[in-house]
A and B are shown apart, each in its own frame.
Chain A
Amino acid sequence: MSKLEIKDLQVSVSTDDGPKEILKGVTLTIQDGETHAIMGPNGSGKSTLAYSIAGHPKYTVTGGTVTLDGEDVLAMSVDERARAGLFLAMQYPVEVPGVSVSNFLRTAKTALDGEAPKLRTWVKDVNTALQQLNLDPTFGTRSVNEGFSGGEKKRHEIAQLELLNPKVAILDETDSGLDIDALKVVSEGVNRFRAQEGKGVLLITHYTRILRYIEPDFVHVFVDGKVAESGGAELAEELEAKGYEKYLTAAV
């Protein structure tokens, strides 16, 4: 089971001029095993949606609900959300100097499972995950995200997705800054994840390019803090051809 239900979610962020409302009532349900793509222009609030669900302290939820399999996500701390089965692949993964990738992965896995992973299988799993994402075996000894290229950061996020294996993955512009080869490698990783029973994916992107590799069940157009239109994969093709203009004009 993995049903992520977002109902009338309203989120604001504090600015120098007081709180600014960014999400203005988002309603979206990701049923068991579904992949949803959210597309929208810059500044429409797509990343805010991702970070709010993950519980970033910068955002204040002012209304609405988010539940995962009926559990109140908004009442959970950031790490509780992860332990409940949510995963956010970040657009800008954060550097943690002096903490090696392997230490980080093992610590995260231990926290999620409540016990340390079995050493022999774990080492093998890590090596496989890194290899599948074309990451060098020495990658594990490097400090988390420090000095990584843009592509390495994204591939590292997807390696985590595979190793930590959540119920629902939110991918925040995982395709941005990737060349075509890296995009393929990353997409294959996401596809391996969602090929498993009942995994949900919320894929946030600017471009339809990644949707050629990761085919969504639903596409939502996100404009001005809410879903402006929903449809199937064909909606992405329409956006590709016509852009966001018609929604933007409507929003103004």
Chain B
Amino acid sequence: MTVTDTARESVASGLEMPRTESHLNPPGSYDLADHPLPNGREEIWRFTPLKRLRGILDGEASDAGLTWTTTLPEGVTLTEITAEQALELGELAPNDRPSALAAANAGGALLLDVPADAEIGEPIELRLHGESVDDLVWSRLLIRVGRHARATVAIVHTGSARYSALTSVLVGDGAVANVLSLQDWDDDAVHLGRDAIRVGRDATVKHTSISFGGDVVRMHANVEYAGPGGDAELLGLYFADQGQHLEHRLFADHTAPKTKSHVLYKGALQGQGAHTVWIGNVLIRKVAEGIETYEENRNLVLSDGCQADSVPNLEIETGEIEGAGHASATARFDDEQLFYLRSRGVSEKEARRLVVHGFFNDLIRRVGIPSIEDQLLETVEAELAKNVLKDFD
């Protein structure tokens, strides 16, 4: 077993030299020349198994699609728009090759629109299903939650595909948005996704990324702020089985003062070759005075032969802030927890089940979409049945 558990802090060395770029998150660009084919040694690609991406990065044109089954409560619309309209609406430009390719190849975009002041009580569901990993699918989606609107959006991915998606979440001033992306793919799917969020003034956003299925899943969740007072909570949960690569890359770009970001990702690994990657990054720009940020990643290693990479980063250009911190921990079962439970008569198998259940339950109860929460708890139970508890039958 290799467990990498790194904590780094890179404080801008030359404070007199204004620096506006994050070393891990190059500025967005639609120009493919800005996103050359990686060789795997690049900082932003070094954890990803390029050979298993099944040629997505070559960028072949394709008009294959996923099947969309949608639940659109009254007042919510889903329409096709042109690439030009996407730009006019304020789409966040792609900042890596797969998302730039998605923008170039998707042939227009979809707009999920929640009008200003709308209060959408029930979740908006987008269920996306792929038929085969032979299908190469490019996707470009804008989610707009208008000023002072409230909405919950759940995007659920199932089946299989080679899928690259650029998703922008544009949250208006004072709006409250809850967005969930669930990767519940079949074993052979490859999914490269970028969810980029712009938080309006005094707006509140929760984004949750949950990855269970797929051969390779590499998700970005990026957040930036259009004005002061924005609050973003970025949650994640993943469960990697034998041979799976699940990668989550976070970026909170504090572009405005008095903004907040809170990141919590929890993952479990089991089986030979299960690999998870979590890269957290926070950039506190010079203008971002009075901000608060905390990022945390916890991994539970359930068997031999797994690898969990966890790298929290913090780039600070101003010290005039409320607070900034990060934590990362990767561990096996806690012997003390197991002892405590077993000393009450609970069998080792049941104690392990309780601990993992608790580990995830802690996060699942924060998702805020009851229908999905139940489904998630069931999936966790099913994952556990596969391996963790197998040795005890």
Contact = CB atoms under 8 A, between A and B. Distances in A.
Interface in B331-380: 334-337, 339-348, 350-351, 354-355, 357-362, 365
Given A97-B358, A98-B358, A99-B357, A79 B340 contact: no
Given A96-B355, A97-B358, A98-B357, A111 B350 contact: yes
Nearest to A111: B345
25 contacts: A54-B339, A57-B335, A77-B342, A79-B345, A79-B346, A82-B342, A82-B346, A83-B345, A87-B344, A88-B343, A93-B340, A97-B358, A97-B359, A97-B362, A98-B358, A98-B359, A98-B362, A99-B355, A99-B361, A104-B341, A104-B354, A107-B341, A108-B346, A143-B362, A164-B345
Interface residues of A, number: 29
A97 B296 CA distance: 15
B359 A107 contact: no
Size category, B interface: 20 to 34
Contacts of A93: 340
Contacts of B335: 57
B344 to A, nearest CB: 4
Nearest to B346: A111
Nearest to B360: A98
A77 B348 contact: yes
Contacts of B350: 107, 111
Contacts of B354: 96, 99, 103-104, 107
A233 interface: no
A92 to B, nearest CB: 9
A156 to B, nearest CB: 11
Contact of A78 (B339, B358, B365): B339
Contacts of B339: 54, 56-57, 78, 94
The interface centre, meaning the residue of B335, B337, B343, B348 with most chain A CB atoms within 10 A of its CB, is: B343
Interface in B33-54: none
B217 to A, nearest CB: 24
B350 to A, nearest CB: 7
B342 A107 contact: no
